Chains A and B, each alone.
Chain A
Amino acid sequence: MPSHKRKKKHLKHKHDKTRQSSKQHPNSRTRSSSRSSSRSRSRSSSRSNIDCDYGTKNLKCKERIRPRSRSTSDSDEGLRKNSFSRSHSKSNSFLEGLNTNDNKHSRSCDKREFSKQKADIESPVATPLDWNFDFRKFKYSLGKIFLTDKYFSKITDRGSQEHDDFWAFVSRYQDFQKKKLQRSQGSNMCEDSNEEKPGLQLGLPQKYDVQYKVNISFRSKEFDIFLKKNRLVDHQLEKELTRDRVIQFRTILIHFLDFQQKQKFQKLHKIQHDQRNLPIYMYKQEIVDTLKKYQVVVVAGDTGCGKSTQVPQYLLEAGYEKIACTQPRRIACISLSKRVGYETLNEYGSQVAYQVRFEKSKTAATKVLFLTEGLLLRQMTTDPLLEMYSVIVIDEVHERHIFTDFLLGVLKCILMQRKDLKLVLMSATINIGLFSGYFNNAPVIKVPGRLYPIELEYCPITRDDTSDSRRLDPTPYLRVMQKIDHKYPSSERGDLLIFLSGMSEIMSVVEAARAYAQQMKRWIVLPLHSALSVEEQDKVFDIAPEGVRKCIVSTNIAETSVTIDGVRFIVDSGKVKEMSFDPKYKMQRLQEFWISRASSEQRKGRAGRTGPGVCYRLYDEADYNDFQDYSTPELQRVPLDSLILQMISMGLPDARKFPFIEPPSISSLENSIQFLKEQGALTSDESLTPTGQMLSMLPVDVVIGKMLIMGSIFNMIDPILSITAAMSVQSPFTNKAYTDSEAMTARKPLESDHGDPFTLLNAFDEWIQVKAQGQGTRKWSKRRGLEEQRFYEMMKLKRQFSDLLRDHHLLDGGEPTQRYLSSEQRRAQHGERKRLAQLRKEKMRERKRRKVLTLEDEEYKISDEEEDSKEGDIKDLEFRLSNDLSQLQETSNRSRSLTLRDVNLVKIILCSGLYPQVAIADECNTYKRDSEQAFHTKSKPFLLLHPTSTFAANPDVLMPKDAGGKRPAPSDLKGLMSAKHELFAYVSLLETNNKPYLVNTMRVPALQTVTLFSNCIDTNSDCTRLLCDGWLELKFPEAETAEKVITSILTLRSTWYALLKVSLLDEASAEIWGQFTHGMQRHWICPGCGVAMVVSVLERLQHQAACSGEGGEGLKATEAAEEEKEKEKELNPHRKPYHCQDCGETLSLTTTEILRHRKSHSAGTSASN
């Protein structure tokens, strides 16, 4: 057996790491000769050279292939390699011959290396190797032989994805080979003959083997050594790891490399393939060309046409470099930037980046930036013409958010000044004419969406049984479910999505549908609305088992915000509950409306995302035709306070003249301007006050912003941060919190007598405590009907708020100094970090597979298993790592030990933002549970407590305090003089089901609140009667008390104003002043009245304030009050008029302390309505 011998010889003396080099060996001579001559040789002559080559090779081939036919092995690697190498090198020379002038194809780089290592790896055994060997057991040794190069370091890293992938590949490959071996043994059919067929010119190996299809190989020094010496230099190999096995492993590794390359290419190819299959791809050139010609282009395309991801890329490709793409939602910015980064193969670069309120990934290299509309507007305060961008893309213009509309107006102005700026508006195919017309008939490019046909059926509800009009009748919805059951076999998949207007409607349909589902066993009914916990919401994405459909009963949240795949049937009630805003009462109103035609089409479209669908409309076609064309833009539905404040700070002084695309009502504008004036944010001539200046810089609601400012001025920031954060997120109380009696009892200790803001504060602090004690907060939250997610959000917001305040120097100190950790703590932290990484990885994998629902899944149960929620664990660990729990616990302990005095201060701070949002109780209230208590505000009488309020459950705490503990008859209360009268500050008014409610209420002392914050106080001559803001009247029994009260009020108000001025105008020096106010006295002549005096800074400020009258506060006092002020000037500010002897003694109070102090002593006067 000559060939066999030869092989052995090869093995002994020559070995090779790669098949690549092996292909060189049989005719390296030929190769070099052809190469040396190829440059000058003509094409034909080189061919002849090859031909003669070919002959000799074929000879060799025959000779060598013979033994192979005897072996049944599929893996006789050496043989394969030999024949392969021959043909390959042949083709190489052939190639070179043809390419005489083109040295692109010549391989000179590694020629020498090849000849050095020309040898084959051949198997000396004749019997084929089985594939049953467990290579996993020898990971370490195999790693030593093959994977020492840096390129493989991921494979050897046991925690990495590539490591897992590789070993999974190894077992798959082995399984595959095993099966293949069985098959070939079973049939013993060999399709490809080894015989030479005549007339073949390419010299390809005729015995097919998958190895020939691999174009990759690798080198490993250790492997060479192993081949030479059968061992490694520095590592003892296991004896099971025979030479054959090692060579076998090498084959697997090569196949893995090939597989990996193919996989990666596939990924790359798929991206491009998908991009080209998007409907918008056809319009790529048109979009780019039109934008070159015109300044503004409208791209209108329906969902799924790809505009949001593709247009920014088209612009980038067209050479634009400073591209801003706005999105109405923050999450969309982040996910789009990720997606576009991925598609432009910049996943890890920052060419495509995002920037949202508190986060950014933008760098100097960024060319495409996704940002929120609000942020782009904010950038205009520093860059009024947006010169940092050359193209601005505004996505989802049709959604008409308040900032979208504002941005459109602002850009219209900027475009006139910047002819080089390009603007792309992207919209659904709704109301395109409006946008195009607004920008001087800008060209419109219409892109069809990718939708499957949708069958439409009108099934109007016949109203014969409208006896109970309050509750929605679920029968029509059940009828549709039955219809689906009859008409479509359960083997055809496809879920049902029902659009209803609100939560109670959802509840009644869900209830009925579940009863039906129980009976049929063919449905899983899932509600979907924003008050559900995150986990419950996520259930709608899970998959129903075979033969069962999901029935998702949703609000309009599923219309645009949440997209569920696999929906085939739609039931559209045609109704929506929408928040409207009544500027007259500053009241939000949740009302049921017919939807617009646009959103009815949108709802229908949800059925055709993944296949043809059916839409049942539970109204008449005539109704449909009567629908409004489009939904009302947000601008016309919400308070405009923040918007106007921002406009003024951007240098647009008159909102009434702003070119809105569709202007809001004049009354809405005027009301907001009035409100801002009342809040002390605008002066009477509508310019910004220092407070207004600061508020315009804080990207939060005016009310919240004011609380934050005051909270930092009065050093009471932590509870204020918690409360404002809680007010800015959705309530952590799920609707279960108010229905489940167990949850209600468990929650009892959290409830505060003082009101809802304090209940929120307690809940949050308690949550931190539980967390700090290392207990499961998830279970804790669930038991109390709380949504834990909200607390994490609050935590984030709190931090963001304090960062904001720090940025504007309202809060001192940078980040808390580095904590010192013991080695044990460090170790624990390291452990947590590791666990976090692992959990994240697991979750990523899990996410790939959607869970399959079971029929029981619709029941939402409180389970004690905490371990099943990785999400929760991840959040928990993230939280622990990013926060110093012990420190948090400390602050929360502090807020637990709030004294009454502190509570009062917190109330005052909250009121500073909330005022004039106060209500007074009706005199006839019974304060009994189960009866409704009425309240009145200045503009709106007879408001009720919202059922979620702490007070609604315990109305007795609202009882007037001077009643002596007995429940007085309403008639007794009438006209009663009380020193402890209380008002109710509220965060908002909300009208649902035609009942107006106070939301988020808090008890506040009446006299102090009103006198401190009202914008105008009218008095009689001896000040025994005060009429505050024209509706609340205070009466004093004695003129002396009245005098004292008035005096202190004036002192306080001027000090308050001065303090604000100092804090906001002179941020940097304010602190120092605070410290030295009392020590430093100097001569000063008041420019107002020309009196020379020796005063402290504080006194000076007070004098100034007094001298310059009421200043921007808008305090409008009567003549009597003027007199009081004169008196006040003479009074030593120390002489705090009433109560507490302490005050008289502690003369050197800081301004802060004066105010703080004052809050706690506030009895002794009487007030009445």
Chain B
Amino acid sequence: MPSMKTEAVPMIAARDIRKHFHGTEVLKGVSLDIGKGEVIAVIGPSGSGKSTFLRCLNHLETIDAGSIVIEGETLVETDAAGHCRYAPEAEARRICRKMGMVFQQFNLFPHLTVLQNVIEAPLTVKGLSRDAIVPRAEELLRKVGLLAKCGAYPSQLSGGQKQRVAIARALAMEPDIMLFDEPTSALDPELTGEVLRTMRQLAEEHMTMLVVTHEMSFARDVSTEVIFMDHGEIVEARPAGEMFADPRHPRTRAFLDHML
């Protein structure tokens, strides 16, 4: 089971998350605490439930049972009778705004330019003025190396560039936590490097990150902790160095042997 953290209030505290799709149990009671500044890599075979777990954390999926508390605020809890209750819609949206998310398929808004993609949510959700947000958006785009592409549309970008814009777009909402759902899986191999570099840079700035990934080198070199999931459960959770040097569980060992 995951280690208990010493911080009083974890950034994310997920308890006993259960979720099924059409009779198949995808998450069989997953618990995880994420402390401030931690970078947690979630690895495991496809179908292990790792992406679903990530999507449950920010309410893209509705859980059947368990509780999720984000920075001390309850998104969802389950009472003694087993009734799973979410915070009211607007409240849930506000809580989930603490988490930014990057998708495998980028999901940029195709009708908006790169800059418009980045400023859209700060404008409409936070109600900031253009004057307030544009300089910050430009700074973020410079950080991901795409300031020159400001006026381009997503269809004019490479996959790696799209994903870096998606990261800048998420950061523009100033989240405390970043969730990455297989951010490099849809990319050509030669384009994964630029995205991983951007993520590494974020980690170095002590962003709290939860990364579902098949990039074992990223998991080993950048993350503070690695979680191995299989069949809807966390099989093993260890500091990155230990996990790769000495996986304890046979299933972890088999998976790592296969991947490395």
Tell me if chain B binds chain A. no
- Give A residues with C-beta under 8 Å from B: none
Residues of B whose CB lies within 8 Å of any CB of A are none
